[in-house]
Amino acid sequence: MTERRVLHGWGRTAPTMANVVPVTSYDAVAHALKDAGPRGVVARGLGRSYGDAAQNAGGLVIDLTGLDRVHSVDVDGATVDVDAGVSLDTLMRALLPCGLWLPVIPGTRQVTVGGAIAADVHGKNHHVDGSFGNHVLSMELLTANGEVRTLMPEGPDAAAFWATVGGMGLTGIVLRARIRVKRVESAYFVVDTERTENLDELMDRLSDGDDQYAYSVAWFDSVTTGPRLGRAVLTRGRSALRDDLPRKLRSAPLRFAAPQLATMPPLFPSGLVNRLTASAFNELWYRKAPKNRHDEVQNITQFFHPLDIVAEWNRVYGPRGFVQYQFVLPFGAESTFRACVSAIASSGHVSCLNVLKRFGAANPAPLSFPNPGWTLAVDIPVGPGLGDLLDALDAMVLEAGGRVYLAKDSRVAPETLRAMYPRLDEFNRVRSELDPDGVFCSDLSRRLQL
């Protein structure tokens, strides 16, 4: 049954009204697609893209979260066959009892497989394992003419496969996928933690030691300026073997220990995240971390998803919402990277959730975000002057040969996007072949004139 709903991204900015159709079968998806009107259609999962990628003002949005079957887990072959609406949380719970683990995990488990493909999500291990699309062995794509095509990363449909990976849902609707997974002995991780005094020390530590770790990420202080600019907590680790675990955990090494303890109430005013509260949080987060601790055993929530403990945590930013601004700059552009961090810290705009990582090699997808280099993500509350800051950052990033992440974006200019993604014409050619009438569209695609 179609329902008129106001939709927004995780940043809670730019809400729009659409006709939403929940589906529970492939036939239902195909039937809904036939009803797409002049405003077109886009698929939606759990709504964790931060901007307007899964919105379609005045048009049709197909809710795929009911398409949630795990068809099979091949333990011997280390693969899984799943519907696109299956969440990564559900998939982890299905895989771990078999001694298997997802090859790429973003900052939340509350992402569907279809969304992970559309945004080509990345995690703490991109420098080793690449992004999510690297591990998709095949997918079933419903195209605009109602045909279901099986796409694989190599062969005659490789161009369509890679345009769909990172393609933000604009080539069709992914119904099902077969994914290569990893073997593990436990649901825990062996983690090294250290504090660094400033951004230069942090980048030096990442450059020197990342190749020794499967997973690596740094939280850094984006408020403090001066000689302590970019002071950070660096955490790096690997999957724990059973023998790494303390005795009390060895009896159930694959137990999924990732509770959700609370839901944030919708009561927070705008302005709660301000310079005073952000400074206090940054100081607390930095000081509570050990200066140098090795071989600590951490569970999934501790190491990967601390924010998943509290549902709807985005409400803390109030009704105006926030922008998560994420960019990547190539290696060799470290001076620009430092200038961007300095511009944020001195801008008067504040962020508490700041992540810095190193990316490895890119994959063949023309709109995939990760490129070799430094990536930074900051969460900034919406307020006066924020647009000017982000426009200035866009210009710095573009001049240095970098790009912003479409899954996080809600405001970049079309001409800036075209300059940041030089393979955009290649994507558009494949998209036109798959969808010549432009049936698949979204608020994002209209805003960016895709």
User: What are the pLDDT digits (tens) for 189-201?
Assistant: 999 999 999 999 9
Q: What is the mean pLDDT of residues 260-288?
A: 74
Q: What is the DSSP string of 414-449?
A: HHHHHHH-TTHHHHHHHHHHH-TT--B--HHHHHTT
- Given a cut of 70, whether residue 378 has pLDDT beyond it is yes
- Helical H runs in 289-358? 300-303, 334-345
- What is the C-alpha to C-alpha distance for residues 433 and 172, in angstroms, rounded to an integer? 11
222 vs 244, higher pLDDT: 244
- What is the C-alpha to C-alpha distance for residues 103 and 143, in angstroms, rounded to an integer? 27
Q: pLDDT tier at 286 (50, 70, 90 boundaries)?
A: confident
- Given a cut of 80, whether residue 11 has pLDDT beyond it is yes
Burial classification of residue 343, based on how many CB atoms lie within 10 Å of its CB (0-12 exposed, 13-18 middle, 19 or more buried): middle
335 vs 227, higher pLDDT: 335
Which pLDDT belongs to residue 114?
98
Cβ–Cβ under 8 Å, residues 33 and 146: yes
- Given a cut of 80, whether residue 35 has pLDDT beyond it is yes
| Residue 228 DSSP code | G
Which pLDDT belongs to residue 261?
64
- What is the C-alpha to C-alpha distance for residues 430 and 144, in angstroms, rounded to an integer? 13
Q: What is the CATH number of domain 189-411?
A: 3.30.70.2520
Q: pLDDT tier at 422 (50, 70, 90 boundaries)?
A: very high
- Given a cut of 80, whether residue 281 has pLDDT beyond it is no
Q: What is the mean pLDDT of residues 243-268?
A: 84
- What is the C-alpha to C-alpha distance for residues 72 and 100, in angstroms, rounded to an integer? 13
Cβ–Cβ under 8 Å, residues 139 and 161: yes
- Helical H runs in 289-404? 300-303, 334-345, 386-399
Q: What is the mean pLDDT of residues 224-230?
A: 87
- What is the C-alpha to C-alpha distance for residues 170 and 442, in angstroms, rounded to an integer? 8
Give the residue among 434, 359, 417, 444 at the shortest CA–CA distance from 130.
359
- Given a cut of 80, whether residue 220 has pLDDT beyond it is yes
- What is the C-alpha to C-alpha distance for residues 275 and 308, in angstroms, rounded to an integer? 25
Q: Round the average pLDDT of the chain to a whole number and report it.
A: 94
Computed from CA positions of residues 351, 354, 359, 362, in that sequence, does the dihedral angle turn out positive or negative?
A: negative
Give the residue among 132, 180, 167, 207 at the shortest CA–CA distance from 372.
207
- List residues bridging with 149 in a β-sheet: 141
What does the CA dihedral 277, 281, 284, 288 come to, rounded to 10 degrees? Answer: 160
Q: Give the DSSP H or E segment for 276.
A: helix 275-288
Q: pLDDT tier at 315 (50, 70, 90 boundaries)?
A: confident
Which pLDDT belongs to residue 262?
66
- Given a cut of 90, whether residue 4 has pLDDT beyond it is yes
Cβ–Cβ under 8 Å, residues 188 and 297: yes
Q: What is the mean pLDDT of residues 406-428?
A: 97
What would the two tokens of residue 411 be?
């405001």
Give the residue among 204, 107, 159, 55 at the shortest CA–CA distance from 433.
159
- Given a cut of 90, whether residue 280 has pLDDT beyond it is no
Which pLDDT belongs to residue 208?
86
pLDDT tens-digit profile of 256-273?
877 666 677 777 777 777
Which pLDDT belongs to residue 282?
76
- List residues bridging with 70 in a β-sheet: 82
Which pLDDT belongs to residue 285?
77
Cβ–Cβ under 8 Å, residues 280 and 179: no
Where on the phi/psi map is residue 194: left (φ > 0), alpha (ψ -120 to 50), or beta? beta
Strand order, beta sheet including 60-63: 3-7, 16-22, 60-63, 41-44
Percent of the chain residues past pLDDT 90, beyond the cut? 81
- Given a cut of 90, whether residue 19 has pLDDT beyond it is yes
Name the residue with tokens 């604009």. Answer: 170
Give the residue among 373, 351, 353, 354 at the shortest CA–CA distance from 362.
373
306 vs 251, higher pLDDT: 251
Residue type, 368: S
Q: What is the mean pLDDT of residues 109-127?
A: 97
Domain boundaries, the chain: 70-184, 189-411
Q: Is 1.20.120.420 the CATH classification of the domain at 70-184?
A: no
Which pLDDT belongs to residue 255?
93
Name the residue with tokens 């050619």. Answer: 429
- Given a cut of 70, whether residue 16 has pLDDT beyond it is yes
- Given a cut of 90, whether residue 308 has pLDDT beyond it is no
Which pLDDT belongs to residue 319?
87
